[in-house]
Amino acid sequence: MATDLIVPLKPPHAGKSRLRGALGYPADAECHAALVLALASDTLRAATAAPGVRRVLVVGSDPEALAALRELGAEVVDEQGNGEVLGGLNGALLVGERLLRAADPLAAVGALQADLPALRPGELAAALAEAGGRRAFTADRHGTGTTLLLSGAGQPLAPRFGEGSASAHTASGAVPLALKAPSLRGDVDTPEDLEHARLLGLGPSTTALLGTACVPH
């Protein structure tokens, strides 16, 4: 069964605060927002190309970022635009889940972080295949966070993202997937994470951005 993915995106100027100035890239607000948007663009390019993925829905509140990501073929929704503001990352995921389940109550719904710039479509597809319709997740490379959470078909996603989410997802009965999938586990929170993703092979948006000068304002 194909999976519908929600990709949550905090406004790029506010998100990924620990990345400011990473790899020598300017810490200026606009330069930083461009870097965060590039990470999301590479994530979405891979997610929309992955076999087994049916819909990719970005949930966020920054109109410019949502417009840019729509250009890449993702669906987008304003997390504050439907009169239901649940707040925070898990709240945004619930907004997305409701929309996807309204369209197909039996959908297998997943949440994919927007900071996976080295993501390979084949590794995402392999994770969906290993999950096989179970509620399951991939922990990040450190083993503490979560990069992908999948629901069982027609079952609630019940996201518990946040500090220590890998333990929280295990405690809530989600199956930790065993596949290696380094690109799927390589989320980028810190400069060290970005260097790790660079060694795995960054997608075209992040590669291009880091190769050009951003002039701080």
Ligand X SMILES: Nc1nc2c(ncn2[C@@H]2O[C@H](COP(=O)(O)OP(=O)(O)OP(=O)(O)O)[C@@H](O)[C@H]2O)c(=O)[nH]1
Output the smallest distance, CB 113 to ligand X, in A: 5
Strands, DSSP E only, in the chain?
Answer: 3-9, 53-60, 75-78, 108-112, 136-139, 146-150, 175-176
Partner from ligand X, ligand PEP, none contacting 130, C-beta within 5 to 8 A by type? none
87-124 burial: b if 16+ Cβ within 10 Å, else e: eebbbbbbbbbebbbeeeeebbbbbbbbbbbbbbbebb
17 is in an annotated binding site: no
Which one of 47, 131, 161, 206 is in contact with ligand PEP (CB under 6 A)? 161
Kindly tell me which of 89 and 209 has the beta carbon lying closer to ligand PEP.
89
Structure-token pair, residue 95: 């907004």
Structure-token pair, residue 74: 């993702």
Which one of 3, 43, 165, 206 is in contact with ligand PEP (CB under 6 A)? 165
Kindly tell me which of 16 and 120 has the beta carbon lying closer to ligand X.
16
Kindly tell me which of 25 and 161 has the beta carbon lying closer to ligand PEP.
161
Whether 56 contacts 5, CB under 8 Å: yes
Binding-site members are 146, 162, 165
Residue ranges of the annotated binding site for phosphoenolpyruvate are 146, 162, 165
Q: Which residues sit at the interface with ligand PEP, rule CB under 6 A?
A: 89, 140, 145-146, 161-162, 165, 187, 189
